[in-house]
Amino acid sequence: MLPAPRADLIPNTFDYEILPLVKATGFREYDARWLFGPEINLLGIQALGLGLGTYIHELGQKRIVVGHDYRSYSLSIKQALIIGLISAGCEVLDIGLAVSPMAYYAQFDLDAPCVAMVTASHNENGWTGVKMGAQRPLTFGPDEMGRLKEIVLSGTWQQRPGGSVAQVDGVAERYIADAASRVSLKRPLKVIAACGNGTAGAFAVKALKAMGVIDLIEMDCELDYTFPKYNPNPEDSVMLHAMSKAVREHGADLCLGFDGDGDRCGVVDDEGEEIFADKIGLMLARDLSQLHPDATFIVDVKSTGLFSTDEVLKANGAKTVYWKTGHSYIKRKTAELGALAGFEKSGHFFFNAPLGRGYDDGLVAAAAILAMLDRNPGKKLSDLKKALPIAYTSLTMSPHCADEVKYKIVDDVIAEYTQLHADGGSILGRKITDLITVNGVRVALEDGSWVLVRASSNKPEIVVVVESSRSDDDMRALFRDEVKPRLAKRPEIGAYNQEI
């Protein structure tokens, strides 16, 4: 019987080889992520599988899809996870190398209610993790992650007979065909597919060609788990700038960038301009609300304020709900409210029927963008962007902050802004009109500008986004003169991953 995990084991010791290591901080709000080696070992992954198998039995399930992303250690991690799941009496369906949405698709394709996808998404090499769910198309949220954490760390899992594993072939081909069926492109477009050498490179090219893209340029689509150029993260400025450069060099109509596990899509237009996913979401909402009047859209609190003021959405009877950042939160809210679609600034797009099955999928998002262009044959992507009201939105900026203290830091910032609002205070000469505190704090100002501070759900970081209704300079001032100095007062705040 595997003993309960410990958190104090050190690599290259006897105990590390015979006991499970699991650091509690790896259990995030809606998935699990650890640095493989110092924070979790293979026996710890096996313990995670035992705990997950025990939990899904509590939920009355046992059939589970398992896949893994393309990293040097992901296969061994998946195999350790499978050993734990089998020991817990689960029926494991191993789909092999996959992107996360392929595993979600397989839940429907193979009639399996549960999923465990081994992936560190776009995190740097060294990270690993598991995205889990037991009620398709949803993935775990805080309640489910809390129960799983309790089982694993206490070692109160239950071994059961009857566990099995089957290698399932053909899922990738069916997944690609399903994603491609979302659009049949009639318009000749030159499209760049940027994959950052991540797992999506194995599938995106085939899918885009099947969607009708004849002139397709491959950009870093070869699988290379060293990520030689940059992490596959279409929200990161390095990858976005590379995508922009490629569009200008090739005279492309657009570039579609996919993250490390293929559940996100980033976009650069025909002028080489980066379009953040919330603005692409607004363009899609405008387009789709004409076809589906009175539709509801869900957006995360990092997204542009234009969703609540846009006249086209109002004319089409569309309703927008701002909700917590995180793929699990937006996915769940989209399902709960029966929304047509959900958009997250990080590039997660969620489409319910008839557009999708409700889970986040970079290829289905790409199909939706191509379909939008097909419905606007006389317009370039840059034309659709220029038709939007003007708002100046920053990159997502993340200063380092330890997992153990990041939520306390954000709670303190919420309290400061709450007091400032109550006192009738202002930010750069503008009064605070509203606070949204469902996920950190989003401080709305009287001219429509806003600032956001929240804790990252999957890394030891704080997340900062600002938006100005006035100018690019004002957007930078909101960060430089307001948010950055407010956070800098706290010694726990470290260096930023990127700044404007």
Interval 187-199: pLDDT, tens: 999 999 999 999 9
CA-CA-CA-CA torsion for 408, 413, 419, 424, nearest 10 degrees? -170
Rounded distance, CA 319 to CA 22, Å? 43
Predicted pLDDT at 251? 98
14-169 has CATH 3.40.120.10 classification: yes
Q: What is the pLDDT of residues 333-363, one digit of tens each?
A: 999 999 999 999 888 999 999 999 999 999 9
Gyration radius (Cα) of the chain, Å: 22
**Per-residue pLDDT at 500 exceeds 90:** no
CA distances from 447 to 84, 311, 368, 391 (A): 54, 17, 32, 11
Q: Which letter, b or e, does each residue of 418-433 get, where b requires 16 or more Cβ atoms within 10 Å of its Cβ?
A: eeebeeeeebeebebe
Q: Which residues pair with 468 in a beta bridge?
A: 392
445-467 average pLDDT score: 92
pLDDT at 92 over 90: yes
- Assigned CATH class of 392-488: alpha beta
CA angle centred on 243, ends 237 and 249, rounded to 5°: 135
Q: Are 306 and 290 in contact (CB under 8 A)?
A: no
| 458 pLDDT above the threshold of 80 | no
The pLDDT score that the predictor gives to residue 137 is: 95
Q: In the numeric block, which tokens belong to residue 156?
A: 């109160």
63 pLDDT above the threshold of 80: yes
| pLDDT tier for residue 144 given thresholds of 50, 70 and 90 | very high
Does the bond joining 11 to the residue before it have cis omega, within 30 degrees of 0?
A: no
Model pLDDT for residues 355-372, shown as the tens digit of each residue: 999 999 999 999 999 999
Is it the case that residue 243 has pLDDT exceeding 90? yes
The pLDDT assigned to 59 comes to 97
pLDDT tens-digit readout, 74-91: 999 999 999 999 999 999
Known active-site residue 74: no
For residues 148 and 30, what is the distance between their CA atoms, to the nearest angstrom? 11
Q: What is the pLDDT of residue 1?
A: 83
- Whole-angstrom Cα distance, residue 3 to residue 9? 13
How many other C-beta atoms can be found within 10 angstroms of the C-beta atom of residue 154?
A: 11
Tokens describing residue 128: 């690993």
pLDDT for 462 equals 97
Distance CA 292, CA 290 (A): 6
235: confidence class by pLDDT, cuts 50, 70, 90: confident
If we measure between CA atoms, which residue out of 6, 31, 33 comes closest to residue 17? 6
- pLDDT value for 161: 96
pLDDT of residue 308: 85
CATH number of 275-361+380-386: 3.40.120.10
Taking Cα atoms as reference points, which of 239, 249, 334 lies closest to residue 285? 334
Q: Which of 87, 121, 244, 394 is catalytic?
A: 121
Residues 453, 398 contacting (CB under 8 angstroms): no
Mean pLDDT of the region 208-218? 97
Q: What is the average pLDDT score of the chain? A: 95
Scored b (16 or more CB within 10 A) or e, 311-339 reads ebbeebebbbbbbbbbbbbbbbbbbebeb
Q: Which amino acid is at 317?
A: G
For the segment 94-123, the average pLDDT, to the nearest whole number, is 96
Alpha-carbon distance 393 to 414, whole Å?
A: 21
d(CA 177, CA 3): 44
Cross-strand pairs, 63: 91
Q: Assess whether pLDDT exceeds 80 at residue 444.
A: yes
pLDDT at 291: 96
For domain 174-271, the CATH architecture is 3-Layer(aba) Sandwich (3.40)
**What confidence category does residue 459 fall into, taking pLDDT thresholds of 50, 70 and 90?**
confident
pLDDT of res. 259:
95
Percent of the chain topping pLDDT 90 = 92
Which ranges in 251-357 belong to alpha helices (H)?
277-291, 311-315, 327-336
**Does the structure show a pLDDT above 80 at 381?**
yes
**Range(s) within the chain of domains with CATH label 3.40.120.10:** 14-169, 174-271, 275-361+380-386
User: 84 or 236, which is more confident?
Assistant: 84
Residue pLDDT, tens place only, 386-440: 999 889 999 889 999 999 999 999 999 999 999 999 999 999 999 999 999 988 9
Q: Which residues of the chain form CATH 3.30.310.50?
A: 392-488
- The predicted pLDDT at position 457 comes to 81
Span 117-145, average pLDDT: 94
Q: Residue 123: its pLDDT value, please?
A: 85
